[in-house]
């Protein structure tokens, strides 16, 4: 799965979180599940989040990319976009995920691109398009996140 890549954030976002003493790259990682699945976030802003995931190790019994693996990639990317939209005083919590699987993938990397459909004060919705290495659409997903206020202890829970 190789070395983790550095996520690209806009400088103003890095500065905003650094002023609060928050390790932005750790906070906006793919988490433990995403790490086990090889998810790599390569670009992140409220306008666009890009990430990859290997097909190998994330397949169902027929050797095709598991639909649940596509869902993990989609929710990860959409959640990162929602968190960046919400800013340092909000936490994004997924409340609805819809995935349509268009074709199978048997090898290589799939790439997901999340773009906003709606960005409000209390919810954010992202469309996530997942393609294979031939740039053929494998899955289209839509994620809606609730943006709730940060509560005491949230940072410690995220770090743990």
State the catalytic residue, choosing from 75, 127, 133, 156.
75
Task: Report d(CA 7, CA 73) in Å as an integer.
Answer: 15
Note whether 150 and 89 are within 8 A (CB).
Answer: yes
Q: Exposure of 79 by Cβ count < 10 A (0-12 exposed, 13-18 middle, 19+ buried)?
A: buried
Alpha-carbon span 39 to 121, nearest angstrom = 28
| DSSP type of residue 4 | P
Enter the DSSP assignment of 6.
P
12 is annotated as an active-site residue:
no
Judge contact between 76 and 83, C-beta under 8 A: no
* Residues with a known catalytic role: 75
């Amino acid at each position: 799965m190789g070395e983790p890549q550095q996520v690209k954030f806009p400088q103003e976002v890095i500065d905003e979180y650094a002023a609060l003493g928050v390790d932005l790259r750790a906070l906006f990682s793919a988490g433990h599940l995403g790490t086990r699945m090889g998810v790599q976030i390569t670009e992140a802003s409220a306008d666009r989040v890009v990430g990859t995931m290997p097909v190998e190790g994330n397949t169902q019994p027929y050797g095709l990319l598991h639909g649940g693996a596509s869902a993990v990639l989609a929710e990860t990317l959409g959640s990162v976009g929602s968190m960046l939209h919400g800013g340092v005083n909000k936490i994004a919590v997924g409340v609805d995920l819809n995935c349509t699987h268009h074709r199978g993938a048997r090898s290589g990397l799939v790439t997901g691109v999340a773009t906003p459909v709606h960005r409000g004060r209390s919810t954010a919705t992202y469309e996530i398009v997942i393609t294979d290495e031939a740039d053929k659409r494998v899955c289209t997903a839509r994620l809606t996140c609730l943006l709730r206020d940060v509560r005491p202890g949230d940072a410690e829970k995220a770090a743990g």
